[in-house]
Amino acid sequence: MNSTAAFRYNRKIFSLPPWHCRLSTAAFNVDSKAFSKTLNLPKTSFPLWPNREKSEVSLCPRICEDLGGREFVLHDGLPYANGNLHVGHSMNKIIKDIINRFHVISGDRVQYIHGWDCHGLPIENKALKDLGTDSRSLTPSDIRSAAWKTALHEIETQKEEFQQFGIMADWSKETTYRTLDHGYEMRQLAIFQKMVENGLIYRHYRPVHFSPSSRSALAEAELVYKDNHISHSVYSGEKYAKYSHDIRLLVWTTTPWTLTANMVTTKNAHYGDCGESRIGLYFVEREDDKKGPLYLIATGRLGDTPTVPIFSALGSIRYVDSIQGSNLIGAYCKPIFSHGSSKRIIRASHVTSESGTGLVHCAPAHGVEDYNTFRDQGLLAGTESMLCHVGCEGEFKADVADVVGDTATQSLVGKSVLEDGSRAVVNLLKETNNLVKIERFKHKYPYDWRTDKPIIVTATSQRFANLDKIKDDALNALEHVEMFPPLSRLQSFIRSRSEWCISRQRVWAVPLPALYHIPTDRAILDAASLSHILPILQEKGIEYWWNGPVEEFIPPTLREGEGVDVWRKGTDTMDVWFDSGSSWSMLEQREDGLGQKYQADVCVEGSDQHWGWFQSQLLTAVGSGSSSIPYKALVTHGMVLDQKGKKMSKSLGNVISPITVVAGGKDKKKEPAYGADLLRLWIALVEYWNDVPLGTNILNQTAESLRKIRNTARFLLGNIGDVYEQDNEDAWEDVKEHMDLADRYMINELQKCEAECAVAYVAYNFPKVVKTLQNLCNITLSSCYFDINKDNLYANALNGYERRATVFMLKEILATIVRIMVPILPDLAQEIHDSMYYKSKGLVFLEQPWNWHEGGFTIKGFTKDDMKTVKKDSDDMVMLMQEVHPVVTSLLEQAREQKQIRSSLEAEVDVIFPEVPDVASNAPSDAQEATTSFEDNGKTRLAQNFRDHEDFMAKHFIVSRVTVMDEGSLGTVSPGWIYIRSLSILGEGFSKPASALGSEESYDVAIRIRPATREKCPRCWTFTKEIEDILCKRCADVT
């Protein structure tokens, strides 16, 4: 830049003179290596990379019952005891562990008991597969015994894998809860009994989600919807009986197998009923019959055939006429199968003209909307009035002959309604000349989440919980629950449900202890029967329901009359969501010192648990009349995807095992052992409340982030040395008097950092914690505080006050970093702790407590007034960094680019004030020194503030010297080169940076860099040595 710079002050222009020659000095040829041993270079045994074989040292064998803080309860959601852990398991457990560790280091008594969900179809299927025997040839006891062994084996497998994630818990059998344990099962039955007593449980024959592959009813929470399901949709014609002409209602369905159970035909409740709105009559040309019948189609667009999807699907079609829609209501259609009865046409609100033909067949046994329509119009006289020809394995039963006839029945009986049975129905439509069109139809369809097979809707007798009675109470209870992140999904799900199907047709589960009257199939399951049955199961175990004689379970009141031979035990079992939803009852078994029942402070699960465990806990608690809601807060995390945002799947080959991340794969070069801390850091880094990606690149980026944190700790340990073992109150008594602006700035930064992290931990915002920690390590420390203090640490006297003040701050910095990282990076924190206190064998979270809730960060020996001074000095430091340092850095970079300097230490900085002759200065010898007293005005006070911090600014800017002077003291000797820039500073002191002031007066200063006027010291490399000396004064005194 130009060597002349000008700035305005009191409306007068001052120009600084140009210099044209470079100062030349001679230097002694002294080998700097000769003094290297006299420097205090960092020394530490803390390795650059962790020793994987010695990791996982921070696991706690107990739950810190000896801590004196408040009780904190994290209620563990139950992982299903089946198969190896996937990365979603690790996310769930590590989030919980981070929460627990934060509360432990905060002094709370954490109650955390692992649990496992042990019942259900997957375990039963796996046990049967291991047996290699068809379940039909086994007794229920045989199946249950095998499933029991399978569940216990899976628990042990998962337990070993969980421990590799660095989870702090007691993994012993005594402190683990399992839904197969007798005590747990009896608490579950006790909850069920209370719900029965409250009138919430009833038996009903109605359509439910039914899985042929599981041979059991399913709840909505046990379904997954696939968008690419292919059905064979058909258009069939139901002959309109009102006219002698061959006029038919064109009906479209994606489930042709339900046509055998058709009981009425429905049309939209309003369309075509009034005014000029009419239903179209169309002629459809068919390949097999050019003179086919006319078809009624409720499209809403009479004659507009090219734009209506149904018409393009049917092919060649021609509009003929229309009829009034109301004429259809109450009329009849002839049956499409030989032995069927005529079907009435009724209105239905769920039928629209948006898809299909606007006319729908109604099979109340195979559709909830159909069932509701049938019931609401008074057509449902009883269960016997519903047609249903589907068996428990999703196959056509023999009674379908009542509709299709004996001959046609042979092509249907025993065939799956989703496969061959559906195709057989289509063939019957062809034979009866009622098939108009068949086509493949891709659409969303429900699948069994356990077997990954499609389900059906069919009528069966099931047990339900009435949710309408408790819905308001459940919603009111949720108003007192905090949601992280704030969501209303749980409320929405509860509002949308009126009942809960709780019965299942499997063996490996808790029984629904109902008795059935064999002659009438009447079921007995009431408060009286349960009061008789449950004590028997309490004494003899759940297995006795399958093994014991029925007469033991029959209450005395039922033994009279017909005797015991007419009764049988029910075989239905409870929905596994009722199992896991009863887990809150464990907390009710304990009381605090005031007699209050414990309540979970928080539950943490995936987003799918708003429909599952979160909801089942709430419903069982409210339904059984519990005095409190099971939880105070709910934390939800998303699913883990691959790095392209796709769902992880074995078929896609994009699955990443958390065990491989921790321990490495077979090829360690391709799949290195990153350790548990890296997995934990990744989970804490991402916004886990959303779906998050994971892949090789992401793991490598996380490894780099972890390396930077580790290197920061290594630098701190290397410079602290043995100070921890020597630490005592007296040693640090007078250190604070020797702290400079940077030290005091760091005190303030640590205070802010701890406060921000504590707030983030409390809010379960772990990404905020990690980013705050990263900014502290990578920016505040590595790019600022460490650079400023390297000269002090390396070159000053080992036990000099200035260096000891900085070492004291390094100690406080490291302790703060450890406290912040303990919940997320327990292995690294313990490793650092062991290096800090190498004689200690204790656990870091017990020996370095974090008392953030008692007023935040505190430092030994500092009073409240001291901290106020620290805050002011911190503001001064901020002003230097924000206002002056960028200018100095820019000028030094210019000098480097123009090859004037290689190191910033080759330069000196002048801070020049115009017309302030009263500033006492440390100017070069060639400059005129001012000796008069200060003028009491803002500009002189600002200049004096700068003057008081000359030595610190030299350290901060990493130059050899900083001189504060007025414009009149520039002298006459010209340096070989200069770079200069002006800037305005608002206020009178460092504590009033420009960005913080509004109406303050501004003062112009100039920043000038020029060649160092002294020689390079071979020990510290600063240009502070006199030409005739071997070392600078500081180094000479030290050595």
Q: Any idea what the CATH number is for the domain that residue 649 is in? A: 3.40.50.620
Our count of domains for the chain comes to: 4
Report, as an integer, the average pLDDT of 668-678: 91
Same domain? 677 vs 734: no
Say whether 964 sits in a helix, a strand or coil.
strand
Report, as an integer, the average pLDDT of 900-928: 71
Same domain? 859 vs 928: no
Taking CB atoms within 8 Å and a gap of at least 24, the contacts of 27-33 are: 27/1015, 27/1016, 27/1027, 28/1015, 28/1018, 28/1030, 30/1018, 30/1030, 31/1018, 32/1018, 32/1019, 32/1021
Measured at the CA of 718, the angle between CA 713 and CA 719, to 5 degrees, comes to: 105
The answer to whether position 572 is within a domain reads no
The answer to whether position 1031 is within a domain reads yes
Task: State the Cα–Cα distance between residues 703 and 334, nearest whole angstrom.
Answer: 72
Q: Quick one: which of 720, 560, 542 has its CA closest to 179?
A: 542
Is the pLDDT at 273 greater than 80? The verdict is no
Measured at the CA of 131, the angle between CA 127 and CA 134, to 5 degrees, comes to: 95
Same domain? 377 vs 444: yes
Q: How confident is the model at residue 624 (pLDDT cuts 50, 70, 90)?
A: very high
The answer to whether position 605 is within a domain reads yes
Q: Quick one: which of 855, 867, 852, 963 has its CA closest to 907?
A: 963
Which of 29-33, 646-650, 1015-1019 has maximum average pLDDT? 1015-1019
Q: Are 370 and 302 in contact (CB under 8 A)?
A: no
Count how many Cα atoms sit within 13 Å of the Cα of residue 378 in the half-sphere of its side chain.
Answer: 0
Task: State the Cα–Cα distance between residues 501 and 505, nearest whole angstrom.
Answer: 12
Q: How confident is the model at residue 859 (pLDDT cuts 50, 70, 90)?
A: low
Q: What is the CATH number of the domain that holds 371?
A: 3.90.740.10
End-to-end CA distance of the chain: 42
Task: State the Cα–Cα distance between residues 1017 and 878, nearest whole angstrom.
Answer: 30
Same domain? 686 vs 703: no
Q: Read off the DSSP letter of residue 80.
A: B
Residue 343: what are its φ and ψ, rounded to 5°? -120, 130
Q: What is the CATH number of the domain that holds 796?
A: 1.10.730.20
pLDDT at position 233 = 84
Task: State the Cα–Cα distance between residues 142 and 470, nearest whole angstrom.
Answer: 39
Give the model confidence (pLDDT) of 690-715 as tens digits: 999 999 999 999 999 999 999 999 99
Q: Of 106 and 732, which is predicted with more confidence?
A: 106
Same domain? 685 vs 717: no
Count how many Cα atoms sit within 13 Å of the Cα of residue 284 in the half-sphere of its side chain.
Answer: 28
Task: State the Cα–Cα distance between residues 501 and 909, nearest whole angstrom.
Answer: 80
* 3-state DSSP of 905-926: HHEEEEEEECCCCCCCCCCCCC
Task: State the Cα–Cα distance between residues 462 and 630, nearest whole angstrom.
Answer: 27
Is the pLDDT at 789 greater than 80? The verdict is yes
Same domain? 157 vs 302: no
Same domain? 73 vs 24: no
**Among the three residues 692, 708, 731, which one is the final residue of a domain in this structure?**
692
Q: Of 65 and 900, which is predicted with more confidence?
A: 900
Q: Collect all residues with Cβ–Cβ distance below 8 Å to 288 and sequence separation of at least 6.
A: none
pTM of the predicted model as reported, rounded to 2 decimal places:
0.84
Report, as an integer, the average pLDDT of 869-890: 80
Beta strand 343-348 with 264-268: parallel, antiparallel or unpaired? parallel
Report, as an integer, the average pLDDT of 502-529: 94
**Among the three residues 844, 867, 890, which one is the final residue of a domain in this structure?**
867
CA torsion sign, 839 to 842 to 845 to 848? negative
Quick one: CA torsion of 1014, 1016, 1020, 1022, rounded to 10 degrees? 50
Report, as an integer, the average pLDDT of 14-34: 46
Paired residues of 317 in beta bridges: 284
Task: State the Cα–Cα distance between residues 858 and 974, nearest whole angstrom.
Answer: 50
pLDDT at position 202 = 95
Q: Of 812 and 309, which is predicted with more confidence?
A: 812
The answer to whether position 39 is within a domain reads no
pLDDT at position 184 = 95
Q: Are 98 and 760 in contact (CB under 8 A)?
A: no
Say whether 1025 sits in a helix, a strand or coil.
strand
Q: Dig out the tokens for 1033 from the structure.
A: 């004064």
Residue 716: what are its φ and ψ, rounded to 5°? -65, -45
Give the model confidence (pLDDT) of 352-404 as tens digits: 655 667 777 888 889 888 888 888 877 776 555 788 889 888 999 998 888 88
Residue span of the structural domain in which 805 resides = 699-867
CA torsion sign, 250 to 254 to 258 to 260? positive
Task: State the Cα–Cα distance between residues 684 and 692, nearest whole angstrom.
Answer: 11
pLDDT at position 972 = 61
The answer to whether position 1026 is within a domain reads yes
pLDDT at position 527 = 95
What separation in angstroms does the CA of 210 have from each of 367, 504, 571, 691?
A: 12, 10, 17, 30
pLDDT at position 838 = 60
Q: Collect all residues with Cβ–Cβ distance below 8 Å to 4 and sequence separation of at least 6.
A: 15, 16, 17, 18
- Which H or E element spans position 895? helix 885-897
Give the model confidence (pLDDT) of 107-126 as tens digits: 888 889 889 999 998 899 89
Same domain? 270 vs 405: yes
pLDDT at position 999 = 43
Q: Are 5 and 980 in contact (CB under 8 A)?
A: yes
Is the pLDDT at 241 greater than 70? The verdict is no
Is the pLDDT at 561 greater than 60? The verdict is yes
* Residue 645, Ramachandran bin (φ over 0: left; ψ between -120 and 50: alpha; else beta): left
pLDDT at position 313 = 57
pLDDT at position 489 = 87
Report, as an integer, the average pLDDT of 426-445: 86
CA torsion sign, 182 to 183 to 185 to 186? positive
- Cis before 658? omega within 30: no
Same domain? 740 vs 636: no
Q: Are 95 and 76 in contact (CB under 8 A)?
A: no
Q: Collect all residues with Cβ–Cβ distance below 8 Å to 967 and sequence separation of at least 6.
A: 14, 16, 912, 913, 914, 915, 1006
**Among the three residues 644, 665, 692, which one is the final residue of a domain in this structure?**
692
Mean pLDDT of the chain: 82
Q: How confident is the model at residue 2 (pLDDT cuts 50, 70, 90)?
A: very low
Task: State the Cα–Cα distance between residues 1005 and 581, nearest whole angstrom.
Answer: 71
Lowest mean pLDDT among 168-172, 263-267, 538-542, 561-565: 263-267
Q: Of 7 and 817, which is predicted with more confidence?
A: 817
Task: State the Cα–Cα distance between residues 251 and 825, nearest whole angstrom.
Answer: 63
Same domain? 801 vs 930: no
The answer to whether position 314 is within a domain reads yes
Percent of the chain with pLDDT over 70: 80
Is the pLDDT at 595 greater than 70? The verdict is no
Same domain? 265 vs 393: yes
Lowest mean pLDDT among 406-415, 451-460, 731-740, 1004-1013: 731-740
Other beta carbons less than 10 A from residue 556's beta carbon? 8
The answer to whether position 588 is within a domain reads no
Task: State the Cα–Cα distance between residues 1039 and 1035, nearest whole angstrom.
Answer: 6
Same domain? 232 vs 336: yes
The answer to whether position 202 is within a domain reads no
